[in-house]
Amino acid sequence: MQQTSKYIKLSFLGFALLLLGLSWVSFQQVYVNQTNTNAVEHTQKVLLISEEFISNMKDIETGQRGFLLTKNRVFLEPLNTGQKDALANLDSLDVLVKDNAVQKRCLVKIKELSINKIKALTDNISLIEKGKTIDMSTLEYGKKTMDSLRTRVITFQKNERDLLSIRTNSKNYGLSLMPIYQVLLSFASLVLLGISYYFVNTELKRRFLTEKTLEKKVEELNRSNAELEQFAYVASHDLQEPLRKIRAFSDKLQLKQKELLTNDGQETLSKIASSAARMQTLIDDLLNFSRMVNHKSQQIEEVSLNVLVNDVLEELSVEIHQKNANIEVENLPYLKGYGFQIRQLFLNLISNSLKYALQGVKPEISIKYSEVNAKHIPNIAQSKDNILFHKISIIDNGIGFESQYVEKIFIIFQRLHNRGEFQGNGIGLAICKRVMANHHGFIFAKSKPYEGATFDIYFPATTT
């Protein structure tokens, strides 16, 4: 599942980068196309103004010619207007070609010839107004200047037309690429959609199969639980009934027939009674464990741990007094949980601390409380990092155990000591583990031989 999820993420990332890349290229191409379009329009504007300039220069020359022939000042009007417009054209061209060094140099020469031409025309008009004649050399100079001006303007326009051709080709080429980029972008989107559909569909099928498998396992688990409930029923009735009779008959023999038995018979009878009592304890422990596994019928309630622990200490008061144990309990919180189970949890942990006390050493047991963030709990999923937990530590100064057994002690029927040393069936800590699982909590142990043991239990600080 993690591998599939990894492939899905990598595929989405790869195609997202591809789409981003194609989108960026398309954007760049649009930008280039717009730049080329602006450049084409710019060149066309330069050509248009240069044509207007030549037209205005022709108007100037026509106005001069009309005035020279008729001496009528009406012809000076187009000359003055043309002169003004021609100079304005040159100023506009100067701004438009400022980034083109070749055209800039050409325009400088055009300006120079234009000024000379206009000055020559103005001088000729001034001579006529003064009643003087214009010699042929002056007229030839004016014609020569105008011819040079036309040649320069033609060169200027040719440069612009060459530039227009280049820019138009670039614009057309860019426009021809746009459909290709659009097709690539659309194709990549379709491929991404197809692959996404494949992975999502595969994941849905996998989840469907997983759900079916899970449903089957739940069904098997329910069947196992039903069998366990049946076992609990058998243990509580069919097994206990003959066991009670065995104990009753052995007790009767001890009371009424003890004097008739030999020493060997009395010892055998004592062993029968002891074994029957141990069998009864084992059945009771198994019943307790089965009740922890099948807890659906139990109700969640608000539990005061202070009251609950006091009740447990009261129940263990005889053993506490016998061992002269000192037990210190900090102020404990309220919990939402299964009261019966939580009581069994503390009963098992505290009774273990009393049971495994060091010989000849006064038992010291501390029950401490703090609220911690899940990130401080070892070996749990990071998804719980923002959850608060009630941490309760049961600390003793007993015989302890090797750290290599911190997991083994929670397995049902696993014992670290033989029955000759300490009584028990190896179920108590397995029940504790089950109780914490039922409350979505955790239990951890740490210890060293002859240095006591610490059991840390963590309950979620929210409703279970």
Q: Note the pLDDT of residue 309.
A: 93
Torsion-angle region of residue 379: left (phi > 0), alpha (psi -120 to 50) or beta?
Answer: left
Show the tokens assigned to 129. 């107004």
Burial of 444 (0-12, 13-18, 19+ CB in 10 A): middle
> What does the alpha-carbon distance between residue 435 and residue 198 come to, in Å, rounded to a whole number?
43
% of the chain exceeding 90 in pLDDT: 11
Residue with tokens 């214009």, as numbered in its chain = 134
Show the tokens assigned to 417. 């000591």
Cβ contacts of residue 139 below 8 Å, gap of 6+? 124
User: Within 10 A of 49 (CB to CB), how many other CB atoms are there?
Assistant: 16
Classified as helix, coil or strand, 71 is coil
Q: Note the pLDDT of residue 36.
A: 73
User: Within 10 A of 439 (CB to CB), how many other CB atoms are there?
Assistant: 22
Residue with tokens 């059991």, as numbered in its chain = 455
CATH classification code of 298-460: 3.30.565.10
Half-sphere exposure of 62 toward its Cβ, with a 13 Å CA cutoff?
10
pLDDT tens-digit readout, 74-83: 666 777 777 7
- List the domain boundaries for the chain: 2-199, 298-460
Q: Note the pLDDT of residue 44.
A: 83
Show the tokens assigned to 435. 């109780």
Residue 294 has pLDDT above 70, yes or no: no
Say whether domain 2-199 belongs to CATH 3.90.1150.10.
no
Q: Please, what is the angle between helix 2-70 and helix 101-129, to 10°?
A: 20
Show the tokens assigned to 176. 């021809």
Cβ contacts of residue 106 below 8 Å, gap of 6+? 152, 155, 156, 159
pLDDT band of 132, cuts 50, 70, 90:
low
pTM of the model: 0.50
pLDDT tens-digit readout, 391-443: 999 999 988 888 887 888 887 766 665 555 556 566 778 888 888 888 889 99
> What does the alpha-carbon distance between residue 285 and residue 291 come to, in Å, rounded to a whole number?
10
Q: Note the pLDDT of residue 237.
A: 62
* ∠ CA 453-459-460, rounded to 5°: 150
- DSSP element (H, E) containing 373: strand 364-373
Write the DSSP symbol of residue 238.
Answer: I
